[in-house]
Amino acid sequence: MAQVTLAVDAMGGDAGLPVTVPAVAQLLQQDATVEVLMVGQPVPLAAALRDAGLAQHARVRVVPASDIVTMDDPVAVALRNKKDSSMRVAVNQLRDGQAQAVVSAGNTGALMAVSRFVLKTLPGIERPAICTAIPTRTGHCHMLDLGANVDSEAEHLLQFALMGAAVVRALDRIEAPRVALLNIGEEDIKGNDLIKQAAKLLQEHPALNYCGFIEGKGIFDGEADVVVCDGFVGNVALKTMEGTATMIGHMLRTEISSSWLKKVSGLLALPVLRGLKKRMDPERYNGASLLGLNGIVVKSHGGAGVSGFLAALEVAVREADRNVPALIGATLVNKSDGTA
Amino acid sequence: MAQVTLAVDAMGGDAGLPVTVPAVAQLLQQDATVEVLMVGQPVPLAAALRDAGLAQHARVRVVPASDIVTMDDPVAVALRNKKDSSMRVAVNQLRDGQAQAVVSAGNTGALMAVSRFVLKTLPGIERPAICTAIPTRTGHCHMLDLGANVDSEAEHLLQFALMGAAVVRALDRIEAPRVALLNIGEEDIKGNDLIKQAAKLLQEHPALNYCGFIEGKGIFDGEADVVVCDGFVGNVALKTMEGTATMIGHMLRTEISSSWLKKVSGLLALPVLRGLKKRMDPERYNGASLLGLNGIVVKSHGGAGVSGFLAALEVAVREADRNVPALIGATLVNKSDGTA
């Protein structure tokens, strides 16, 4: 494994330092080669590193940044008024070759805008996209776009497909990832105009293993490695998954507390329920990639805990190790002759 | 309760008669006033009614129809080549004043096209929409459109909002239903152009209690009585809910069978798991309304069982009892002076 240096926005997310620092401590412990630039306000950051026993760590370096992008900051504020934010300075480290990947739990819109402004997009990419792994019955798939773009055109969906396929080839070592377009199943309409046009482009592209349409319920069946959609639709789908899982958890608790018999039965079922909770744990799948940029930027959920932020750090390390942006670039350059 | 007559497409759905006939038998037993026109092929239908003890039932009448619209029939085939299908003849009964509502488990696209062709839309409605109740933590909300329309315009979303609000007023007896627009939460974009335009229309409409945007995960929080979206997005969201719930059920079974301890623990937890299954049961929420037509048409899931089809029949009875199309019509007529 090549030497990887991560630039971590230490202040980002709902919690900031209490989450980012312990997660970095765990990463350093489990990965003997990774180096970390901790970007943030020097005083509280130094204190947090000291508390975590990282003050003198050989593979940790502090990069000072005076400001913080809050979760509610409008994009324009993050971009124009907070040029010394931990988020911006972390992305600058990547641009300047000091790090191979950035991880931030800061607000998505700001992170995308700052990354796009500082790093620029890869040649051939008009719009970066947000991509994450989604659990399926047989393992996982990658889905994009999850909210970076609305009102996508067919050509953008094609670019998302190529980027998603490159990620799966790199991370999952699947040579010809099965790419599906998210669509609806009603017979009379079979999708909107966008989907019909995109289907044609994906079908005809020589470098894609296009396997057709997939419905919302098919995402979890393991029949596709890459699920492509517009960011509006993808974001609604992702949030609906979260909402449904939360709702079922709520139903389970209501059910257990509904009678004495069920309270006892629920206690006896604890090993099963704990196991289920672990399987459903969104922290395991935390870490969405901002694809299509000149560099690796991984977004952690703002509310992620230590294990979730660690998962996002691991995504960044894997993508850096396999140089995902270069693979995406190669796919795009070669798309016309089908040799990607 | 007023006298209601339902026209039931007895042949529709994956199973047809083995589901529709027992469900009708249950409805007749629990509701002493409802009458049913069973529409279908006379020979098998008569046999099924005889088996269910309904052959001589005073409140059941057979209406013959020689053909069946299959689940895979293209809309054009259902509309042009199958004019004597059980679906079409059932809708004809409604048009001719023989019934106050139609229930079919046949294919959605065909049912929408046939209903629209035979019944026409209400004045002021350009596009009918599919609407169903979705469980929330506090009860349920109604969501539309779920797939009748793609590429909706802002004015259509306004019509969906008015129709959804009328349904909730009628069925849930809520005077000023809270109406929300399904949107994504990213700061930088806050929705596509469609959503921005629609938000303005809903905000300004005097007859609507518009409460703003809702995210995919917020659907289940009980903060809105009506959730409005384009049919493409709504269909993806609905199918994603189904997929997530199925996936969690699968995880639970995998978890229980993962060790002897968990198998025993799972057995002991049976009362809780059965209760959860019942709460999650999609059959309870079966029965989607095709709104905006000159008449009540309720679509059952094609794969629904007897209890699911019964739930759809009950939706039809409630809508007929409260004359939902008239309420929708009144809302639209009065929309300019805000007295709806």
A98 and A32, same domain (yes or no): yes
Same domain for B141 and B90: no
User: Which residues of chain B are within 8 Å of residue A139 when distances are taken between CB atoms?
Assistant: none
Q: Which of A71, A134, A217 is most worth mutating to test chain B (most B CB atoms within 10 A of its CB)?
A: A217
Answer yes or no: is pLDDT of A339 > 70.
no
What tokens does B251 get? Answer: 């995880």
- Please compute the mean of the pLDDT values over residues A1-15 and round it to a whole number: 89
Q: Which of residues 70-109 of B touch A (CB under 8 A)?
A: 72-75, 107-109
Residue A336 has pLDDT above 60, yes or no: no
In this structure, are residues B54 and B60 in contact, taking their beta carbons and an 8 Å threshold? yes
Instruction: Mark A284-300 as b/e (b = at least 16 C-beta within 10 Å).
Output: ebbbbbbbbbbbbbbbb
Backbone angles phi, psi at A73, to 5 degrees: -60, 130
pLDDT at B314: 96
Give the pLDDT mean for A173-191.
81
One domain, residues B277 and B296: no
Q: Residue B139: left (phi > 0), alpha (psi -120 to 50), or beta?
A: left
Under a CB-based contact definition with an 8 Å cutoff, are residues A221 and A211 in contact?
no
What residues are paired with B133 via a beta bridge?
Answer: B142
- The partner residue sitting opposite B188, judged by closest CB among A75, A151, A187, is A75
DSSP helix/strand/coil, B186: coil
Cβ contacts of A115 on chain B, cutoff 8 Å: none
pLDDT band at B245 (very low <50, low <70, confident <90, very high): confident
For B180, the 3-state DSSP assignment is strand
Q: Average pLDDT for residues A296-301, to the nearest whole number?
A: 96
- Give the dihedral sign, CA B321/B325/B327/B330: negative
CA distance A156 to A233: 14
Indicate the residue among B266, B285, B304 that finishes a domain: B285
What number is the average pLDDT over the span A232-241? 93
Strand B35-40 to B60-64 pairing: parallel
pLDDT in the model for residue B18: 97
Helical axes A306-321 vs A17-30, angle rounded to 10° = 50
Query: B200 with B265, same domain?
Result: yes
Question: Which site among B196, B240, B262 would you substitute to test the A interface, given the most A Cβ atoms closer than 10 Å to its Cβ?
Answer: B240
CA dist., res. A51 & res. A311, Å (int): 22
Q: Is A188 part of a structural domain of the chain?
A: yes
Report ipTM (2 d.p.). Answer: 0.86
Its sign, for the CA torsion B245, B246, B248, B253, is positive
CB contact under 8 A, A229 and B236: yes
SS3 B63: strand
Q: From the CB of residue B47, how many other CB atoms can be counted at a distance below 10 Å?
A: 13
DSSP tag of A219: G
Please tell me whether residues B84 and B193 are part of one structural domain.
no
Nearest CA to CA, how far is A98 from chain B (Å)?
A: 28
Cite the beta strand spans of A13-139 per DSSP E: 35-40, 60-64, 101-104, 129-135
Please tell me the least confidently modeled range out of A50-64, A217-231, B44-58, B177-191. Answer: B177-191
Q: Are residues B267 and B319 in the same domain?
A: no
Say whether residue B135 is in contact with chain A using an 8 A CB cutoff: yes
CATH code of the domain in which A226 resides: 3.40.718.10
Write out residues 201-240 of B within 8 Å (CB-CB) of A. Answer: 215-221, 229, 231-233, 235-240
The average pLDDT across B231-245 equals 92
Are residue A269 and residue A312 in the same domain, yes or no? no
**Max Cα distance, chain A (Å):** 68
- In chain A, residues with a C-beta closer than 8 Å to the C-beta of B235 are 184-186, 216
B85-125 pLDDT, tens digit per residue, is 999 999 999 999 999 999 999 998 899 999 999 999 999 89
Residue B2: band (very low, low, confident or very high) from pLDDT cuts 50, 70, 90: low
pLDDT tens, A16-67? 999 999 999 999 999 999 999 999 999 999 999 999 999 999 999 999 999 9
The nearest CA of chain B is from the CA of A239 a distance in Å of 5
Per-residue pLDDT at A266: 72
| CA distances for B166 relative to A175, A196, B111, B146, B324, angstroms | 53, 34, 22, 17, 7
**Overall average pLDDT of the A75-79 stretch:** 91
Q: Do A182 and B219 touch (CB under 8 A)?
A: no
Separation of CA B116 from chain center: 16
- pLDDT of residue A253 exceeding 90, the answer is no
Lowest mean pLDDT among B20-24, B176-180, B256-260: B256-260
Phi, psi of A188 (to 5 degrees): -75, -20
Test A236 with B239 for CB contact under 8 angstroms: no
What is the number of other CB atoms lying within 10 angstroms of the CB of residue B337?
9
- B102-122 as b/e: b if 16+ CB within 10 A: bbbbbbbbbbbbbbbebbebb
User: Could you tell me if A136 lies within 8 Å of chain B, comparing CB atoms?
Assistant: yes
Q: What angle do CA B322, B18, B295 make, to 5 degrees?
A: 25
Residue ranges making up the domain that contains A118 = 1-125+292-322
Contact list in A for residue B113 (CB cut-off 8 A) is 188
Nearest CA to B130 out of B146, B142, B118 is that of: B146
B218 contacts on A by Cβ (under 8 Å): 239, 243
**Residues near A116 by Cβ (< 8 Å), separated by ≥ 6?**
A128, A293
Contact between residue B225 and residue B138 where contact means Cβ atoms under 8 Å apart: no
- Taking a contact as any Cβ pair under 8 Å apart, which residues of chain B between 276 and 305 contact chain A? 276, 279-280
Q: Does A201 reside within a domain?
A: yes
* Test mutation, A127, A182, A186, chain B, max B CBs within 10 A: A186
DSSP sequence for A109-169: HHHHHHHHHHH-BPTT-SS-EEEEEEE-SSSEEEEE-SSS-SS--HHHHHHHHHHHHHHHH
- Residue A51 Rama label (left phi>0; alpha psi -120 to 50; beta): alpha
Q: How does residue B46 score in pLDDT terms, banded at 50, 70 and 90?
A: very high
Token pair listed for B47: 């046999």
A108 min Cα distance to partner chain B (Å): 7
More confident call, A271 vs B17: B17
> Is pLDDT larger for residue A285 or for residue A51?
A51
Question: Using the beta-carbon criterion (under 8 Å), do B72 and A107 form an inter-chain contact?
Answer: no
pLDDT higher than threshold 50 for residue B1: no
How far CA A35 is from CA of A7, A8, A51, A294, in Å, comes to 9, 10, 19, 20
pLDDT at B190: 67
Question: Is B253 found in the same domain as B184?
Answer: yes
Whether residue A153 lies inside any domain: the answer is yes
CB contact under 8 A, A216 and B245: no
Q: Indicate the DSSP class of residue B122.
A: P
The predicted pLDDT at position B339 comes to 40
Q: Would you state the pLDDT for residue B283?
A: 79
Same domain for B264 and B183:
yes
Angle at A145 (CA atoms; ends A142, A147), nearest 5 degrees: 130
- Judge contact between A39 and A96, C-beta under 8 A: no
User: Would you call B262 and A273 a contact, using CB atoms and an 8 Å cutoff?
Assistant: no
CB contact (8 A) between residue A252 and residue B112: no
Q: Chain-wide mean pLDDT for chain B?
A: 90
Predicted pLDDT at B338: 41
Instruction: Answer yes or no: is pLDDT of A189 > 80.
Output: no
Residues 6+ apart with CB under 8 A from B234: B130, B143, B144, B145, B146, B147, B182
pLDDT tops 90 at residue A188: no
SS3 B121: strand
Can you give the pLDDT at residue B336?
Answer: 44
Closest C-alpha to A39, from A70, A66, A73: A66
Residue of chain B whose alpha carbon sits nearest to that of A267: B269
- Compute the distance between CA of residue A20 and CA of residue A70 in angstroms, rounded to an integer: 15
Question: Are A81 and A178 in a shared domain?
Answer: no
Is the domain of A317 the same as that of A193? no
Tokens 């922290």: give the residue: A283
Would you state the structure tokens that stand for residue A282, as one six-digit string? 């969104």
The total number of structural domains in chain A stands at 2
Q: Please state, in angstroms and rounded to a whole number, the distance separating the CA atoms of residues B265 and A38.
A: 45
Range in A94-103, A151-160, A238-247, B263-272 the model is least confident about: B263-272
Is residue B334's pLDDT more than 60?
no
Greater model confidence, A190 or B169: B169
Nearest-neighbour CA in chain A from B31: distance (Å): 30
Res. B337 pLDDT band, cuts 50 70 90:
very low
Contact B184 A262 (CB under 8 A): no
Return the sign of the alpha-carbon dihedral for residues B316, B88, B20, B237.
negative
Exposed e or buried b per residue across B153-180, where buried means at least 16 C-beta atoms within 10 angstroms of its C-beta: ebebbbbbbbbbbbbbbbbeeeeebbbb
What local confidence, expressed as pLDDT, does residue A200 receive? 93
Note whether A331 contacts B: Cβ–Cβ < 8 A. Answer: no
Q: Is there a single domain that holds both residue B148 and residue B274?
A: yes
Q: Does the beta carbon of B192 lie under 8 angstroms from any beta carbon of chain A?
A: yes
pLDDT bracket for residue A340 (50, 70, 90): very low
- Using DSSP's 3-state secondary structure scheme, residue A337 falls into coil
**Cα–Cα nearest to B327, from B155, B167, B208:** B167
Q: DSSP characters for B207-245? A: T-EEEEEE-GGGGGGT--SEEE--HHHHHHHHHHHHHHH
End-of-domain residue from the set B267, B285, B303: B285
Q: Which of A148, A217, A250 sits opposite B243 (nearest CB)?
A: A217
Question: For B288, phi and psi rounded to 5 degrees?
Answer: -100, 140
Q: Is the Cβ–Cβ distance between B36 and B22 less than 8 Å?
A: no
d(CA B86, CA B105): 11
Neighbours of B59 (CB within 10 A): 15
- Is position A331 within any domain? no
Q: Is residue A91 part of a domain?
A: yes
Min distance A99 CA to chain B CA atoms (Å): 26
Percent of chain A surpassing pLDDT 90: 69
Mean pLDDT of A245-266: 80
Among A239, A69, A229, A89, which Cα is nearest to A159's? A229
Where does the pLDDT of residue A284 fall: very low under 50, low under 70, confident under 90, or very high at 90 and above? confident
